[in-house]
Structure 1
Amino acid sequence: MATKRTKKGKGEPDEAIEVVPRSAGAVSSEGVTVLEEDQELIDLMQAAAADDGEEDLDVGPEQQELFIPSTPPTDLNVKDDVRTMEFPIFTLSKRKDLRIREYSRGGRTVKVFPSVAGAANIFDKDILIWIMSHLAQANGQGKPTSRRVRVESHAFLKGTKRSTGGAAYQRIIDTCRRLKGTVLETNVKVTEQESTAGFSLIEDYRVTRSTKKGDGALEVEVTISEWMYRAVIDYDILTMDPKYFQLSQGIERRVYELARKHCGDQGYFKIAIDQFREKCGSSQQMKFFSNDLRKIARADTIPGYRMVIDDQEKPTNVVFLNRDNQVLLAFAKNRGQIQWVTRMLEKHGAEKKKATRKAAESSGKQA
């Protein structure tokens, strides 16, 4: 997969990263997992784009004009669609990103075009995750749904672990602008002719209740794209750990998405670091990207998985180990990889001890 990027200081990190360590768990296991092909997901996106302008397809459940979520935030199962977990569609930085990004494989191309407001970032995706989670729950209960969804801002902010201060309601409108303005474009083959089709992350939005000053949204109605709605209705989605919303760095969130997508419920997964950087959508030079991954691995912040940078093999691999000890052990035994997994766990433990020691030394100097 090739990546075109523009407008970025050469070798400049995407964003300074600072992660807060959490307590370590314990587990064990290894093995080599063949990475899933991107082609299937590209084909799905192209099919969605090709449908644009044609008659609406019967997606099954009854649709209504406006879907109003009724599930309390604390009872919501968090869902994300597989396509946007696989492709680096969202920029990782909160800074305005005006780059045009391009990803190609096997003669198929997906381009991401930002608007003057900047490209949608991975934190903007929260509102899409919130909407998809409510739609998935209603769909599973056989209730009618709609692509147009009412978002009550306070419930959304609380449910995604965000501040509920005044500026947060202004940022919701900024998020909608970037999602509406970001266009995905792909080459679609119809019979023997190839054409280009594009669509936005959301079709439109409308603020239905504003803050007193009129610059924030207390309530907004959002119409998601047909391809995203279809992903929910067709159950092309995965359950996310709610702790995802507590990850404060864009790269942490992207790392979790890829771990959840590729490792999933199996014991472990590993991938070459250069391919992983490409999947993350990072524009950093490898040394900066590698350093950020090592910080995340030491801090142990990824929900559900331990991450290890295995540089004893060439090329260097990024390894994810399931935190469920029984799953990890069974997976390792089945593949004859107990020794390799043991080595990965030992390396993970040593890196955590090193990080803890450095933190203690730093606090001692400050005292």
Structure 2
Amino acid sequence: MEFDPRWLLFVLPVAFALGWLASKLDARQWKREQRESPKPYFKGLNLLLNEQQDKAIDAFIEAVQNDPDTTELHFALGSLFRRRGETERAVRVHEHLLRRADLSKPDRERAQHELAQDFFKAGLFDRAEAAYSELRGTAFEREARLALLSLFERSRDWARAAEVAAELEAAGTGSFAQRIAHYLCEQALVAQSQGHPDLAQSLLHQAQKRAPEAARAYVLLGQLLAQGGDAPAAFEQFNRLLSTNPPAFNLVAMDYAQLAQGLQRQAAALQTLSARYEQAPSMPLLRALELLDPAGHRSRLVRHLKAAPALSPSLSAATELFKLEAPALPADEQAPLLQTLEHACRPLRRYRCAACGFEAAHYFWQCPGCLSWDSYPPTSVEELA
């Protein structure tokens, strides 16, 4: 049978018409998707940028309902829930993502990381620990380890915190020597409270080896040895503190002077304290010097006040000087004046965190406010000015 070219007259127009119709249908479908799907998403994004989180969540929920397979919308919605403190809803969103069989490996790891953050924010530390542990060997391993470090610090699990810090250091995240030294010091305090002074001393020696320039191990070991009756060893620890971390010596200046009295080393201690005071005058050093040389205390206070413009105004020094001069005043004037000065000094004798500004009457190695380590200068607010 021979081919009839007249068939082309019918086939070509039909093929052209079908192609034209298909292109129209595709264009309409594309326009409908552009018109319907992104609208709630961009609406939610606009509300989020305007800090209207409640309305943004409603818009994202609508977008998810229109396109339930879009993972980015789920991630955005889960993050919003967590930021608002609605951790249960955030957990449901991220668990729903993890149950999807078609989720890619990067998105699955990301969902696991988001879920771990949900548990941490909710205070479910055991579940957060399990969730973070599953991120080993993923792109979120570093973030997971840092979160675990914070989690173990909060739960005061110092041994495991030291393990994670060592892992981070080995992975090249940075130096964690001083933080590990703090963990060893915390374990030493626990051992001491449980009646194991030998173990406490061993842990403090480990802390000194781990971070030789860190002050805390010298302070705690000196105080522990003094309590145990080994005054010469305690005195030596405080001398080592002075040579390795002079600013922190203010924290033990009075302990140092008391040990010197018991050991009959007043002359050597007086010389050491005087030399340190000439380098960096402070009230803790002045009080320690008073213990060893009461006769020269008044003249030192006067010199300290005269040097105040070059240092900082010292209301504490003025109060100390007033105590010495108070007997010359009428008895009914001494008490109210001294009470007024002491009341004015009290806020100035506090310590202030350099990271968050949290103030405390006692010195802290870790800030109770922001949980930063070594953020308190070893000088009072008065002497920071």
Q: Same fold (TM over 0.5)?
A: no
Choose between structure 1 and 2 for higher RCO, CA contacts under 8 A separated by at least 6 residues.
1
- Highest Rg: 1 or 2? 2
The structure richer in strand per residue is 1
Q: TM-score, normalised by structure 1?
A: 0.22
Q: TM-score, normalised by structure 2?
A: 0.21
The structure richer in helix per residue is 2
